[in-house]
Structure 1
Amino acid sequence: MLLFWAVVFGTAAIGNTLTTRIDAIRYHVPFETWHIVVNEFSSPLVSLALIPFLLMACDRWPLHADTWRRYLPYYVAASVLWCAGHVAGMDLLRMAAYALGGDAFDPGGLVLQFVYEYLKDVRTFFFIVALCHAVEWFGRQVVGEASLLAEPDDEAAPVEPVDRPERFLVRKLGRDFLVATADIEWAQAAGNYVNLRVRGRDYPLRSTLAALEARLDPVVFVRAHRSYVVRLAQVTSIEPLDAGEARLHMADGTVLPCSRRYREALRAVASGAEPAMAARA
């Protein structure tokens, strides 16, 4: 994603540099070429430095149908901070570059500059936010987004107990699939989602890991890390590490972390549930 934005901003900077240079020649404006290059490239460089923080915010506070009213004011406030960081970083880069070239950069009135830049930055800010959410939504459609199947059909028998879900409903590319809880190998926290690993594929479930863990059978699924809940039957061995931590070797060859906080509890449950695995731990 960061590479994509580097190409977008870099292409825009090159285009703006060329057009500004052409305008300077056409209208006989005494602009040095290196001044134009510094002015046009300093802005996208600062924006690129700020983008990782914005992408993390989009992941941490996604704007869904049930959250956008609560989070939108925060995004508006963040757009102001984005602009402030953009203007400050851009001016500092230009001052440093001009000083190296034996010249001085004058940003002019800071209030007027901030208002001018914000009118541009707010569009860039929300374009990035919108595109980030669109890519995430499309990815969930392709991969498949899971949800708890809590309400059975009217004429069918219940497919899950109230406390322990037996199946998850996965919607993928407009079609619905049932994923059995017994097929889940592990679950990994990912922002406001939990990725359910099933036969080598991840299905995002809109939930916290703690909420999902509370719905799963603690004899079958055990917390191994603040970001992982694993199915004991899928753990082939526990490799001890320094400082009390460990690695979990899964049946498909994947290695997952096991923190010191959860290691002994996992081994205790494993000793009763999987003797063969406990012997290799």
Structure 2
Amino acid sequence: MTSGNSFLVQWVQRYPVLTGYLVFFLFLAINAAVNVSSTWTEHQRDPASELLLWQPMLWEYSSVVSTLLCSPLLFWWFKQHPLQFQAPIRQLLLHLAGSVLFSLSHVGIMVTLRSWVYQWLGSNYQFGPLSRELLYEYRKDVWAYVVFLCGYQLARFVYSRLQGEAFQLDTDAGEDSSTGDSGTSDDSTKAPGYFLVKKLDKEYLIRVGDIAWLEANGNYVNLHSKGRIYPMRATLAATMAQLNQSGFCRVHRSLAVNLSYIDSISYQSSGDGSISLSCGQQLPLSRRFKEDFKAAVAS
């Protein structure tokens, strides 16, 4: 059982996006199967029913396909507007607008798929009066939107616990380690040697020298170390204010690199460049940061 759990954790850590979509697909497919069974059973009770089994299957699974096609943009929207305690009215309005766009997209793709199949079978699909049916579909879609949003937030929380979340040793786990993108902080002059990582029910330290590169990700900075990613709640500017003296240099608006991990550098005619790390990672070098990077490498 322990080896099975270990394999599952490693799979989630290695393929987080693929795992998320697989779980999402299974949820949608099982829910559709239950709805098909319910609809078919209900119509079987009526001797006069002319419903064929393929019809509820088409109705439900066209909705599944439509939802999956909409999901990349939907999850992007959730990432841009995560649930927070501040500005609840603004969040409500944003997610209300998001739910309307999701419903219109979902219904449009779903009806198109159903029409194609009906036409292929020599029949016509009747959606019904537009205003009435759109309202009916939105009532279902807004609830689905809420479920997907809560599920997305929960999945990110669980993943952060499986992956391990990093914290500064001199801050509490729940506090933000930065004061903004300006990089100003009471601890900005300190160069930490370690970061604290909390993973499930364990705590351990990772050396700053073992971090190959940093990646800004919304309200977090991802610390890439030995093939693993540890998110830390901070801005890249504030983190760099602490790590400038530890051999790190910013190479892109959202990236910084540990100079000791650089294997080779190539430049393009446009002024941009590419950095190859000894761990096999390729990072872009923006011409905006190229001169500072060259100075840091030469020093």
TM-score, with normalisation over the residues of structure 2?
0.75
Partner of 1:276: none
Choose from 232, 242, 247 the match for 1:205.
Answer: 232
**Count, aligned residues:** 265
| Alignment partner of 2:247 out of 211, 215, 220 | 220
Q: Do 2:191 and 2:242's aligned partners in 1 also have CA atoms closer than 8 Å?
A: no
Q: Please give the per-residue CA displacement for 1:22-50, whole angstroms capped at 9, x wherever unaligned.
A: 43333131223443332222211111111
- Structure 1 CA distance for aligned equivalents of residues 164 and 89 of structure 2: 25
Residue 153 of structure 2 aligns to which amino acid in structure 1? H
Conserved 8 A contact 2:214-2:224:
yes
SS in 1 for 2:223: strand
Match of 1:188 in 2: 215
| Partner of residue 257 from structure 1, selected from 271, 284, 291 | 284
What's the offset of the Cα at 1:76? Answer: 2.6
| Aligned 1:36-185 pairs, distance under 5 A | 36-65=56-85, 70-149=90-169, 162-167=187-192, 168-179=195-206, 181-185=208-212
Query: Which amino acid is the alignment partner of residue 267 of structure 1?
Result: K
The answer for the alignment partner of 1:10 in structure 2 is: 29
Going from structure 1 to structure 2, the CA distance change for 1:67 and 1:234 (only over 3 Å counts) comes to: farther
1:135-178 deviation line (CA, Å, top 9, x unaligned) = 111121232222345569xxxxxxx9732343344333355545
CA distance in 1 between partners of 2:295 and 2:153 (Å): 42
Q: Displacement of 1:204 after TM fit?
A: 0.6
Contact 2:78 2:152 in 1 (8 A): yes
Q: Is the 8 A contact 2:191 2:243 kept in 1?
A: no
Structure 1 stretches lacking a partner, 5+ long: 153-159, 273-281
Q: Deviations over 1:58-98 (max 9, x none)?
A: 22222245576653431232112212222222222222322
| Counterparts of 1:103 and 1:199, CA distance in 2 | 58
In 2, distance between residues paired with 1:68 and 1:180? 39
| Partner Cα separation in structure 2 for residue 56 and residue 151 of structure 1 | 30
Q: Equivalent pairs: percent with the same residue?
A: 32
**Kept after mapping to 1: 8 A contact 2:191/2:245:** no
Q: CA deviation at 1:205?
A: 1.4
Question: In 2, are the aligned partners of 1:246 and 1:259 still within 8 Å (CA)?
Answer: yes
Over alpha carbons, which structure has the higher Rg? 1
Distance 1:228 1:151, change over 3 A: closer
User: Is the contact made by 2:188 and 2:238 (CA closer than 8 Å) also made in structure 1?
Assistant: no
Q: Give the residue type in structure 1 aligned to 2:40.
A: R
1:209 to 1:69, Cα distance in 2 relative to 1, 3 A = farther
Match of 1:237, SS state, is: strand
The one of 258, 261, 264 equivalent to 1:231 is 258
Give TM-score scaled by structure 1 length.
Answer: 0.79
For the structure 1 residues 256 and 132, does the alpha-carbon distance in structure 2 shift closer, same or farther, using more than 3 Å as the test?
same
The answer to whether structure 1 residue 246 and structure 2 residue 265 are counterparts is: no
- Kept in 2, the 8 Å contact 1:196–1:202? The answer is yes
